[in-house]
Amino acid sequence: MDNRLTQRLVGAAVITALAVIFVPEMLEKQEAPSVVPAPTSEPPAVRPSPKPTVPTLTFSQPQPAPAGPAANPPPAAESAQPAPAPPAAALPNPGAVPVMPTAPVAGTPAVPPSPEPVAPASRTPTESRQAAAAKAEREEAARRRAAQEAAAKARARAEAERIAAAKANAEAARKAAQAEAARVRARAEAERSAAARTEAARIEASRNATAPSHDSPAETLAAQAEAARAAAAARREAARADVAGRSAQIEAAQKATQAETARAEAARAEAARRKAQVEAARARDASARAEASRADNARARPPAALPKIQLVAKSEAPAAPARPPAPARPPAPIVAMSARSQPASPSGGGAVVGNYALQENANALRDYYRAQNTRAAVERIEINGRPMYQVRIWR
């Protein structure tokens, strides 16, 4: 009975002590002002945050119970044991308010600094040569394209003039044939007119030469009328033939003029065709000269300077089996090494797979290979009178 009472008193004392410690602190935090003025001397990002205060808990030790069979504590005593308090850093601070940065003091607005003029980037001689070569190539390509276009136009013009000349020649031949036909018709009409006049003269002569007969006057009048009618018909035929001959002559003259014009047009078309052919040949020659000059320039132009690559002298050893990717090699300036005889294999055996001539960092390279379980050694050599370090790697 006394043991149970003692445990209850101890639990009540512990709870009371905890309440006395934490309740005033919580009340103080609730009564704290909602806005904390921030100092203007330094920005909020620089000001150190206040460290949380960890309260110190003290517990009174209960007096030792008298010796005897200790009974199990009742359930009420177990429930009365206080739970361990959470750390102060994990407890929420209801009164804490994030401090807002104060507005800057109004004053003269800050004038942004004027941007400094950007200096044009200097171009290296290699870039200048490459730019000049590219510009020359573009100009050469433009000239070559213009020459090709001119040659194509000249060929098209020559073809058109050839077709026009062929048409003009055909037209001239047709006009000449028409003129010849007109001349033939004119000659035929002239012959017919001459025959009609000859017939009229013959009839007139026969009528005049006929002796007077003893026919009746009616027969005489009929014969005279017939002769007059035949003479008139002959005269009309002669006149018609004369008119037809004149028309045929005029038509023949016109056809001859047209044929002459067609021949002149054909001659002009032939001259234009020859001129177009000459222009096409000149364009082809210009294109060929441009191609030849471009080839000569390409042969005469010095090769573009390549970036200076410092090579590493390595021995001609058989290819080693593939290895896993190694970590990045430490930077070390590498200089060109003249080809020389391969050094002998080390005393430990194995094939030399590489030689590196370095001015510095030779030990770093040796340690790099040794870290990969690869045998490496450093020795001092002279190349072109300059002291250097040679790193040999072998397997």
Res 341 pLDDT > 60: no
Residues 163-179 pLDDT 10s: 988 888 888 888 888 88
Query: Percentage of the chain surpassing pLDDT 70?
Result: 60
Q: Distance between CA atoms of 330 and 262, rounded to whole angstroms? A: 91
Q: Are residues 10 and 74 in the same domain?
A: yes
Q: Is residue 121 part of a domain?
A: no
User: How many Cβ atoms sit within 10 Å of the Cβ of residue 135?
Assistant: 10
Q: Are residues 135 and 262 in the same domain?
A: yes
Q: Are residues 315 and 267 in the same domain?
A: no
Q: Are residues 180 and 311 in the same domain?
A: no
Res 294 pLDDT > 60: yes
**Quick one: pLDDT at residue 105?**
44
Q: Are residues 337 and 265 in the same domain?
A: no
Query: What distance lies between CA 299 and its chain's CA centroid?
Result: 28
Q: Are residues 247 and 313 in the same domain?
A: no
Tell me how many domains the chain contains.
Answer: 3
Q: Is residue 101 part of a domain?
A: no
Domain that holds residue 387: 307-320+328-395
Most confident of 126-130, 247-251, 289-293, 323-327: 247-251
Q: Are residues 235 and 295 in the same domain?
A: yes
**Quick one: pLDDT at residue 16?**
93
Q: Are residues 373 and 280 in the same domain?
A: no
Q: Are residues 152 and 262 in the same domain?
A: yes
347 burial type by CB count under 10 A (0-12 exposed, 13-18 middle, 19+ buried): exposed
Work out the mean pLDDT of the chain and round it to a whole number. 71
Q: Are residues 253 and 314 in the same domain?
A: no
Res 211 pLDDT > 60: no
Q: Is residue 99 part of a domain?
A: no
> Which contacts (CB < 8 Å, 24+ apart) does range 156-159 have?
157/276, 157/279, 158/273, 158/276, 158/277, 158/279, 158/280, 159/276
Residues 344-368 pLDDT 10s: 445 556 788 888 888 888 888 899 9
- Residue 289, domain CATH: 1.10.287
**Quick one: pLDDT at residue 329?**
55
